[in-house]
Amino acid sequence: MMKKIASFSINHDTLVPGMYVSRVDGDCVTYDLRLKFPNRGDYLEQKALHTLEHLVATFVRSSVRSDEVVYFGPMGCRTGFYLILRDSVSKEDALQLTRDAFAFSAAFEGEIPGAKRIECGNWLEHDLAGARAEAAAYVSVLDACSPATMVYPE
């Protein structure tokens, strides 16, 4: 029998957009960057999600915290992303990095990083305008976040 993983133990019906500490594994902290309410029919469109992944991943891996970034990628349910950082990054700094990454994405103009055919496995599936809109909406959500709010609701 397979174990129930921790993220499936969270009541997704009570989860709201925000930034949460999902789990801590050794020196790695997984942050749940929840952009959408789960199970309500409003999900990140695939093309916008893909572009936002490229923008935020490029930003965090180019930031002063680049050596402490383990992973950034989308949730299969299309309600958000996971950001995995080393535990040397405080919650305050993780929140600021996330705010900066999404503000960068909301204002981004130009060629999408890593979106050429030789760089991306689905290079035709991008939506910069959609990604910018989703990033801008999430910046507003992040404005209400703090280290104290980074716990999942009961």
Tens-digit pLDDT string for the chain (154 aa): 898 887 888 899 999 999 999 999 999 999 999 999 999 999 999 999 999 999 999 999 999 999 999 999 999 999 999 999 999 999 999 999 999 999 999 999 999 999 999 999 999 999 999 999 999 999 999 999 999 999 998 7
At 9 the pLDDT is 86
Radius of gyration of the chain (CA): 15
For residue 26, give both structure tokens. Answer: 């050794």
- Rounded Cα distance between 78 and 34, Å, is 9
- 11: phi then psi, degrees, rounded to nearest 5: -75, 100
Cα separation of 126 and 128, whole Å? 6
**Residue 87: predicted pLDDT:** 97
10 Å Cβ neighbour count for 11?
10
Task: Output the pLDDT for position 103.
Answer: 98
Instruction: Concatenate the DSSP letters of all residues of 105-142 into one string.
Output: HHH--SSPTT-STTT-TTTT---HHHHHHHHHHHHHHH
pTM of the model: 0.95
Q: Can you tell me whether residue 72 is helix, strand or coil? A: strand
Nearest of 28, 18, 30, 5 to residue 83 by alpha carbon: 30
**Residue 4: what pLDDT?**
84
In this structure, are residues 49 and 15 in contact, taking their beta carbons and an 8 Å threshold? no
Q: What is the pLDDT of residue 136?
A: 98
The three-state secondary structure class of 1 is coil
Q: What is the pLDDT of residue 121?
A: 96
